[in-house]
Each structure stands twice: as structure tokens, then as C-alpha cells.
Amino acid sequence: MLLWFWVSQGVFYFCFMFVRQKKNKSGVVSIQVIDKSSGRYKLLRTIGSSSDLVQIDKLIEEARNYIKEIKKLNEFDFSNSNEFIQNILENIRALKLSGIDLVLGKIFDEIGFSKIEDNLFKDLVLYRLVYPKSKLKTTEYLYRFSQKQYSEDDIYRYMDKLHSKQKETVQKISFEHTRLILDSEISVVFYDVTTIYFESDNEDELRKTGFSKEGKHQNPQIVLGLLVSKNGYPLAYDIFEGNKFEGHTMLPIIDTFKEKYNIHQLVIIADSGLLSSSNVEELQEKKYEFILGARIKSESKSIKEKVLALRLKNGESEIIEKDNLKLIITYSESRAKKDKLNRERGLKKLEKQIKTGKLTKASINNRGYNKYLKIEGEIKVVIDKVKFQQDTKWDGLKGYVTNAKLTKDEILENYSNLWQIEKAFRTAKTDLKIRPIYHRKKERIEAHICLTFVAYKVYKELERQLKLKRSNLSPEKVIEILQSMFQIEVKNTTNNEIIKHNIMITKEHQIIKKLFEL
């Protein structure tokens, strides 16, 4: 019996094949090729039959040649298995991280990003998903895990190219794929902004200090506006000066998006931070439908009286007419408990600060729970308990301003999906490490955002496919497993060919292999 080895599509196969001599009652010997790879005996071919010993030897030789020629196998002598194994180990030429390309690279191609024929583009996107580091660190990881040698200058030159020639193509590819998976239906979009800070202290025309959503008020920053579809698939983005009012970022992105893709009608959903009288007026002038979070405590006296007079129970909602708009008010017991808890925490924090003497006249403003402060006498800062108590009436209430032609339930359901864009920002900041940004040039800052945008698109498609496959794995867990999937490259010393094999030895590897049909 001989142990045979062959390679097919980058995978090792070992199997026991042998020539069997089967003799019948008449003394005629039949020469057969038998395969015992699966543990069972399988007849591959009967070479011939004879009772002549010389002819039998010829048939046996023909059987052996059949195995070598038809199956194109390479025979190894396993008489010394330790020597054979040592020979394989000495001829390993590479050990590369393969899981990234097998799964994330496949998704990258399925979306259509492979139309951008730059290998570095794909590498930067995929490593942003797996090892989100600085560009210098990325070059080290690409060499360490994939034996791909790029210099930092190579990356910077490519980022300049991405900004000048490929940015629009990237967004178009993402849009077309999103439209495809949503059956060409993109009529409701969600918009929000966040801030991205820089480690540098230097400001310029783009990087400016401003109100930071991350509490980095001393750091220069940019404002990032993001537009996503239903289920949170990214559609468009843009960046603005770090001190720009977030309400002034929405219309430029939406107008450009609508015109670029020739979309006739959009329903725009955004939180109360985007609610300003100028935004509402402009949205109506441009015939947009919208659903915006309302600041019900800032409404007129008459509207506030109507809101508090509703006496809503848990899960109930009512519509209040407001000029040519609708103000929908909802009540939730769980929200009421959360509002009460947050307010009491804010009160305790203020009381502690008063005791330590940290609060002064300058602390009295409308920022957060500072609105409960007042001056007693000439210099004493105290808590306005009456104002604190009055706010309990608003616990659990939330409002939405809209002109949408949708039903009340449809409006509330659509707005409830706004969390998808909040998740997008969390993923970009936590998993994709979009910040802090170390680049100085505007073009490279935009290219950095673009790479993160593409990485998030791949992340969302991974998430979608896992859901379709009814897998209980999260995208984060899949990415973690991929980091332990390697490909080994061995030189075959008989013909100098390089044999490649993807190592999938754990149960998790097998799950990934089955899920993505690798």
C-alpha cells in the first residue's frame, strides 16, 4: 500500500491508493486500482486480467502509471515519516494570514469595490477592519501577516490618488450595492453628525476647536456628517470645519446626494440637534418630507400646555397641530424612569460640586443640569429645587416634528430606526478607530474618512450576510476568528512548485468555512 499526496485548488489531499490483485476460482488474476481515502475500499478502475505472471507484472505497472498519469499525483516515500515531515517544514516558504481575504476580501469584491484596481486600496480597507492602526503601523502589519511590503510613502501617495480620483467612485459603488440589496427602494434616509478630534494642537481652515461630542474641547476637530439608509447602510458623507454648527451640515449633503443619484423624493430623519427654524423652512421650500426630533420643552407656552394636558399612558401617542406641521408626542414608562434617574444623578453631581466650592457664577448656564443652578444673594450658587421639581412633569415624554405624509405609526417606526446611525458612529470610533486622526493635509484627512467609510460598508455587508445565514455570530466575532486563519506555502522539491493550503483546524474555522462556502 502506498500513501499518495496531491494538491487541488490550494488544498492538500492525502489518500491511500493501492493496486489490488483479485484471483478467481479459475486462477485468473484481476488487477484493480483501489482508493481507501475515506476509510472504505473504492474500486477506481480494473486494468485487466491474466493468469500469466509476466502479464500480471505488466498490468500492475500499468495500474501504477494510471494513478500517476490520470490523477497527476506526486509520490512520496514514507518509509521514514520523520524525515518526510522535516523536509516539508524546511521547505515552508510563507505563512500568511488568509482569513481576512477569504471572507472580508470576498465581501469587498461582492460589493463591487474591486472595480478600483489598486491592491493597496483593498489592503488598507481590510486591515482597517482587522487591525485599525496608524498608516505606519498598517505597513508593519501588512508585511508581518501578509508579506506585502509597502512603505509609508506608498500609502500616502495612494491616499492622495484616492482623494483626487477615486472618492466619488467609491461612494457610487456603495450606493449601487445598497440600492440592490434594498430592491431599488431608497426613499427614507437618516442623517446625523459627529466630531472627530486630532492629537495636534494646531488649527487650520479645516481643523478647528469647537463643541466636541467626545469631550475633547481642547483638541482641533472636524465635523463628520453621515447619511445612511434603512438598516444603517452608508450612503454618503462629508466633512466640515470643526466649529461649524451641525444644523448647517445636513442640507448640503442631502442636496448633493439627491441630485447625484436623481432621487425624486426623500423622507429625511434626524434627531433634535438638527432642528432649527432655518432647517425646517429650507426643507419645506425644497419639498423634502422630514421627521425631526422635537425640543418640546422649548416650544411656545401654548404648545407646552397642550403637551402636558395630554395625560398619556405607556405606549400612547397623540398629534398636536403646529402651524402647517404635526407635533407627535409619545409617552414611555421606561423613558420616564431613565429621565428621572439621569436628573437625580445630575442633581447629586451638582450638590457635590457646590460642597467642594467648584461652582461659580460662570457655571450658571443651560448646559446639561447646570440649568438647575441659580444665584442666591450676591455670590452664593445654589440649586433651584423648584425648577428641578417642575421638570418631573416632562419625564417619559418625547416629541417629533414632521410634515411626512406617512401615518403616525409609520412616522414613529421610521424614527425609531435612527439608532442605526448612532451605531454606525460607535462602530467607526470603537471598532474601526476612525479617531484620533494624525493627518495634517485636508486631502489625506478626507482619504482617511473614505477608507473608514468603505470599511464600514464591508462591516455592514458582513452583518447582513450573517443575518441572512441565520448565524448567531456577530461581525466582531467573525473578524476575531479570521485573525487565526492562516495559509501555508510549501515548496515541492520534486518540481519546485509552490503548494498553498488554508489551515482550518478549529471548530470555529469550520463554522466560518461552512458559513461562507470557502
For 1, other C-beta atoms within 10 Å of its C-beta total: 9
- The CA distance from 405 to 189, in Å, is 15
The letter for the amino acid at 484 is S
Q: How confident is the model at residue 375 (pLDDT cuts 50, 70, 90)?
A: low
- The CA distance from 278 to 276, in Å, is 5
pTM above 0.85, yes or no: no
Orientation of helix 442-468 relative to helix 119-130, angle to 10° = 70
The answer to whether residues 453 and 125 touch, using CB atoms and an 8 Å cutoff, is: no
Answer whether residue 98 shows pLDDT above 90: yes
- CA 173 from centre of chain: 16
Answer whether residue 7 shows pLDDT above 60: no
b or e along 292-313 (b: 16 or more beta carbons within 10 Å of the residue's beta carbon)? bbbebeebeeebeebbeeeeee
- The CA distance from 241 to 28, in Å, is 92
Backbone φ and ψ for 149, nearest 5 degrees, come out as -105, 105
Taking alpha carbons only, the member of 260, 263, 256 closest to residue 238 is 256
- The CA distance from 443 to 448, in Å, is 9
pLDDT digits (tens, 9 = 90+) for 260-275: 999 988 999 999 888 8
Strand segments (E) across 106-202: 188-197
For 276, other C-beta atoms within 10 Å of its C-beta total: 16
User: How many residues are present in the chain?
Assistant: 518
pLDDT of residue 490: 86
Backbone φ and ψ for 243, nearest 5 degrees, come out as -105, 15
Answer whether residue 478 shows pLDDT above 80: yes
- The CA distance from 192 to 426, in Å, is 12
Q: Is pLDDT larger for residue 85 or for residue 227?
A: 227
Lowest mean pLDDT among 38-42, 214-218, 507-511: 38-42
Lowest mean pLDDT among 98-102, 308-312, 422-426: 422-426
Q: Where are the alpha helices (DSSP H) in 72-134?
A: 81-90, 99, 106-111, 119-130
- The CA distance from 373 to 381, in Å, is 7
Sign of CA dihedral 260, 266, 269, 272: positive
pLDDT digits (tens, 9 = 90+) for 394-413: 999 999 999 999 999 999 99
Burial, 450: exposed, middle or buried (Cβ in 10 Å; 0-12, 13-18, 19+)?
buried
Q: How confident is the model at residue 497 (pLDDT cuts 50, 70, 90)?
A: confident
Answer whether residue 165 shows pLDDT above 70: yes
Most confident of 11-25, 313-327, 492-506: 313-327
pLDDT of residue 110: 97
The pLDDT mean for the chain works out to 86
Q: What percent of the chain has pLDDT over 70?
A: 89
The answer to whether residues 396 and 313 touch, using CB atoms and an 8 Å cutoff, is: no
pLDDT of residue 191: 93
Residue 68 in grid coordinates: 500517476
Long-range contacts of 172-180 (CB under 8 A, 24+ apart): 173/111, 173/112, 173/113, 173/115, 173/116, 174/111, 174/233, 174/234, 174/235, 174/453, 174/454, 174/457, 175/235, 175/236, 175/261, 176/112, 177/111, 177/112, 177/457, 177/461, 178/229, 178/233, 178/234, 178/235
Lowest mean pLDDT among 96-105, 285-294, 430-439: 430-439
Q: How confident is the model at residue 489 (pLDDT cuts 50, 70, 90)?
A: confident
- The CA distance from 136 to 133, in Å, is 8
Answer whether residue 89 shows pLDDT above 90: no
Sign of CA dihedral 491, 495, 500, 503: negative
